[in-house]
Structure 1
Amino acid sequence: MTADRQSTTRFSDRVDAYVRHRPGYPDSVLAVLHGEAGLRPGDTVADVGAGTGISSRLLLQGGHPVVGVEPNAAMRAAAEAALGGDPRFRVVDGTGEATGLPDASVDAVMAFQAFHWLDPLRARAEWRRILRPRGLAVIVWNARRRAASEFLRGYEALLLRHGTDYAGVDHGNVTDDTLRAFFGGPFTRRSAENRQVFDYAGLEGRLLSSSYAPNAGQPGHEEMIRDLRRLFDATQQDRQVVMEYETEILFARL
């Protein structure tokens, strides 16, 4: 995440919703990293934009010591509360462009759901600095299947209508040219299926975990919640909706 104050503090009032309602990552991410990407058992990983520890938990489960790099104090506290009991985990105050980690100190650097907040060229220089020779760079994000169902089409329209800066901070704005410049050439792209099933309360929590969704008391909040309720009622089956994702895994050796 950039050093810009707005980007590093915009989730501070959403930590609880983030912990409870953000999606995790399928085990197939580890299968790709261990198989095709060449991540080895015991390799140390810097998890850039670690947030509340969702991605760090996956990496720990895969057998890796993890240094979470997170500029948001409230999110660091949540990650520490969730994972601090594991001696293989620590979290530090840093950004994707200024991690504060020593030179050549990690085997892989990864950004889960965070790359679109980074300055790609500054991040590339920083990642190369902290990586050991031929270190692995990985970008992972859960991309909503925006047109896969009536519900998902309606949800995308709701975000475009009510999100304060949704279009501007969407990771879909990251182009292949940007990625090639970051990786320094060709990179490998793999994908996996992921999903969340929500009742209405869970869906509302998922929406409010997003930095661009107006919180209670902010302009546009009541109208957004009204439209979300209408969307849920119109598309639910057995009082549930399904949020479908394609988990994208991008990697190369820097």
Structure 2
Amino acid sequence: MATTEGNFTGKAEAYSKYRPSYPPEIIKLLNDKYGFTKDMIVADMGCGTGILASMFLENGNTVICVDPNDDMLNMARKNLSRYSNVTFVNGKAESTHLNDHSVNVITAGQSFHWFDEDKAKREFRRILKPPNLVVLIWNDRDVRDPFTEQYEEIIREFSKGYRGTGSTAISVERIYSFFNYDYDYYQMDNLQELDLDGLVGRYLSTSYSLKEDDPRYKDAMSRLQDLFTTNQKNGKIILRYTTRVFIGRIM
């Protein structure tokens, strides 16, 4: 698998400001069905700017934020600076630098599709301890919504290496295999309300967005502005998501 840690260099600010958060029902789900408690230690793999980690920190958990990209990790440090129960590690899912059997739960928000599954599974086995939970989460754009579908069409036209949104970018077989064909699946509705800067920023936060020196960049910005102008109400649009949650145990 190719090295990917540079894919988000220079995108940390946009990622922090314009990526959607995750439904708080995820915490309740883990509490109610998996015995998750505030005393458990969470390692957030590919933590990015700390969006998912903040939900577990608010819950009172100790969280270890792991990411290979210095820009993203530095933004996470800034965003999560008010918490005392967080540490930051420059590492990857395949090589976390964490101690053996040191974490109860591993989370991955919008990041599992970057992992080498076999190497990550070996590493997760090494660092996990009971209840040995792994929680994979994606906010996938809900293209049943007309506006979100139009945004998706622009993404497909003006992006490099785009293979789909979130979990749709990988085969279900990869997730089946990772969990040894034994996991639980849940989905929840989620949304973002954005102004024009937010819509443009949402696009620029992605690994596949065009850079300013690309000859098609201005066309992409023009299309996004036209899409916003046509659909905005009171200066805002809504992007809709299906949050997909895969929960299993790696023993």
Same fold (TM > 0.5) = yes
User: 2:26 aligned with 1:29, yes or no?
Assistant: yes
Q: Deviations over 1:164-201 (max 9, x none)?
A: 11127853132222111101122101112211111111
Of residues 185, 200, 206, the one that matches 1:204 is 200
Give the secondary structure class of the aligned counterpart of 2:228: helix
Q: Distance in 1 between matches of 2:192 and 2:235?
A: 14
Structure 2 gaps, min length 5: none
The TM-score, its normalising length taken from structure 1, stands at 0.93
- Mapped to 2, the partners of 1:33 and 1:205 lie a distance apart of 32
1:247 aligned partner: 243
Structure 1 residue 147 displacement after superposition: 2.6
Residue in structure 2 matched with residue 223 of structure 1 by the alignment: 219
CA 1:205–1:248: 2 relative to 1, 3 Å: same
> Which of 152, 156, 164 is the equivalent residue of 1:156?
152
Among candidates 142, 145, 158, match of residue 142 of structure 2? 145
Q: 2:72 matched to which residue of 1?
A: 75
With normalisation by structure 2, the TM-score equals: 0.94
Name the residue aligned to 1:93: 90
Once the two structures are TM-superposed, the CA of residue 70 in structure 1 deviates from its matched residue by 0.5
Q: Percent identity?
A: 31
Give the distance between the partners of 1:226 and 1:202, measured in 2 at CA: 15
1:117-132 to 2 correspondence within 5 Å?
A: 117-132=114-129
Of the three residues 5, 8, 17, the one matched with 1:8 is 5
User: What SS does structure 2 have at the residue aligned with 1:139?
Assistant: strand
CA contact (8 A) 1:37 1:252 kept: no
Moved beyond 3 Å, runs of 4+: 168-171
Residue 232 of structure 2, aligned match among 231, 236, 240? 236
- Size of the aligned set, in residue pairs, is 250
Q: 2: distance between equivalents of 1:32 and 1:110?
A: 14
Asked whether the equivalents of residues 60 and 88 of structure 1 are also in contact (C-alpha less than 8 Å), the reply is: yes
* Cα deviation, residue 223, structure 1: 1.0
Map Cα deviations across residues 140-165 of structure 1 (whole Å, 9 max, x no partner): 1111102312x111111111111111
Determine the structure 2 residue equivalent to 1:104. Answer: 101
User: Which range moves more in the overlay, 29-38 or 14-23?
Assistant: 29-38
Q: Could you tell me whether the CA contact under 8 Å between 1:116 and 1:169 is conserved in 2?
A: no
Q: 1:131 to 1:234 in 2, by over 3 A?
A: same
The one-letter code matched in structure 2 to 1:22 is: R
Q: CA deviation at 1:239?
A: 2.6
Deviations 1:38-79 (A, max 9, x none): 222210010000011111101101121000010000111111
Q: Counterpart of 2:65 in structure 1: which amino acid?
A: G
Amino acid at match of 1:230: D
Q: Which runs of 5 or more residues in structure 1 are unaligned?
A: none
Cα RMSD, aligned residues only? 1.6
Contact 1:52/1:79 (8 A) holds in 2: yes
Q: Deviations over 1:217-254 (max 9, x none)?
A: 23321111111111112222233210111111110122
- Name which of 161, 168, 176 aligns with 1:165: 161
Residue 133 and residue 240 in structure 1: after superposition, are their counterparts in 2 closer, same or farther (change >3 A)?
closer
The amino acid across from 1:138 in the alignment is V
Give the equivalent residue in structure 1 for 2:57: 60
Which residue identity is paired with 2:213? G
Q: Report what 2:209 is aligned to.
A: 213
Partner-residue secondary structure (3-state), 1:36: helix
Q: What is the CA–CA distance in structure 1 between the aligned matches of 2:231 and 2:225, rounded to whole Å?
A: 10
Counterpart CA distance in 2 for 1:230 and 1:95 is 39
